């Protein structure tokens, strides 16, 4: 049950390994990646800022709710801050559960709630270097 | 005795406020609503052209009003956009 807000790149293999357990028959992982277009804007990278203390608390609350709702066995959530380049992961949510249904449901529940509640903000840096907050 | 409240700004609100944080001194017995009123006077730019603004007290979203305590931390920020 790991929650991390970090500047370093996400190591998806390591994250998935961290939730694997012989009791789990399913591991579901969501990776949010930086895509080239934000509407009509061609993006070169994104910049993420967090209110770290509150964001960690928020993610922990959401993940613990997923444990009680769906009975998942383990989770790891990591979110980048600072500059994240095109194609890189900005966020990863990996969960393990006895069966796939609760693993899929819990993974979706966690990422959906993070996107609407967790105090993290991003701005686009387009190919000309112009910066625009996305809020 | 005065209450010292740390106010922290994030995201585009931080840019509009022109600072990451400030300390406000308020009379004892002040409430969240009083702090918001002081902020509206001190930093009106953070409301300009913004549809929504969010507040958190000691890392919890604020619902309703209540009395502030010395050394409380208030955060002010726009709609979240992580992920």
- CATH-assigned architecture of domain B2-77: Roll (3.10)
Domain segments of chain B: what residues? 2-77
Using a CB-CB distance cutoff of 8 angstroms, which residues of chain B are in contact with residue A118? Answer: 80, 82
pLDDT (average), residues B57-66: 95
Q: Does this complex have an ipTM over 0.85?
A: yes
Q: What is the DSSP letter of B51?
A: S
Q: From the CA of A19, how many Å to the nearest CA of chain B?
A: 20
Q: From the CA of B75, how many Å to the nearest CA of chain A?
A: 9
Contacting A residues, span 83-102, partner chain B, CB-CB under 8 Å: 90-91
Pairing of strands A74-80, A2-6: parallel
| CATH number of A2-32+42-127, picked from 3.90.1170.40, 1.10.3720.10, 3.40.50.300, 3.20.20.60 | 3.90.1170.40
Picking from B23, B2, B13, B6, the residue whose alpha carbon sits closest to that of residue B73 is B6
Closest CB from B59, B75, B81 relative to A135 = B81
Q: In what order do the strands lie in the sheet with A2-6?
A: A2-6, A74-80, A89-97, A26-33
Q: From the CA of B17, how many Å to the nearest CA of chain A?
A: 14
Closest CB from A55, A57, A122 relative to B81 = A122
Domain segments of chain A: what residues? 2-32+42-127
* End-to-end alpha carbon distance in chain A: 30
DSSP string computed for A39-91: TTEEEEEEEEEE-HHHHHHHHHHHHHHHHHHH--SEEEEEEE-EEEETTSEEE
Closest CB from B12, B60, B75 relative to A135 = B12
* pLDDT per residue rounded down to tens, chain A (135 residues): 999 999 999 999 999 999 999 999 999 999 999 999 999 999 999 999 999 999 999 999 999 999 999 999 999 999 999 999 999 999 999 999 999 999 999 999 999 999 999 999 999 999 999 999 998
Q: Which residue is it, tokens 């702090």? A: B35
């Amino acid at each position: 049950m790991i929650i991390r807000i970090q500047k370093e790149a996400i190591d998806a293999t390591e994250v998935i390994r961290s939730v694997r357990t012989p009791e789990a028959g399913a591991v579901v992982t969501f990776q949010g990646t930086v895509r080239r277009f934000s509407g009509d804007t061609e993006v070169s990278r994104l910049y993420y800022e967090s209110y770290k203390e509150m964001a960690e608390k928020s993610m922990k609350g959401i993940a613990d709710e997923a444990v009680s709702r769906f009975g998942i066995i383990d989770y790891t959530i990591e979110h980048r801050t600072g500059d994240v380049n095109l194609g890189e992961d900005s966020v990863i949510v990996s969960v393990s559960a006895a069966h796939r249904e609760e693993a899929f449901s819990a993974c979706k529940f966690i990422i959906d709630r993070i996107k609407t509640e967790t105090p993290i903000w991003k701005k686009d840096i387009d190919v000309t270097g112009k910066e625009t907050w996305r809020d | 005795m005065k209450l010292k409240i740390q106010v922290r700004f994030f995201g585009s609100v931080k840019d509009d406020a022109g600072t990451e944080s400030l300390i406000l001194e308020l009379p004892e017995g002040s409430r969240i609503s009083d702090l918001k009123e002081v902020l509206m006077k001190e930093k009106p730019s953070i409301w300009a052209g913004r549809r929504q603004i969010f507040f958190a007290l000691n890392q919890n979203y604020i619902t309703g009003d209540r009395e502030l305590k010395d050394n409380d931390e208030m955060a002010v920020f726009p709609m979240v956009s992580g992920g």
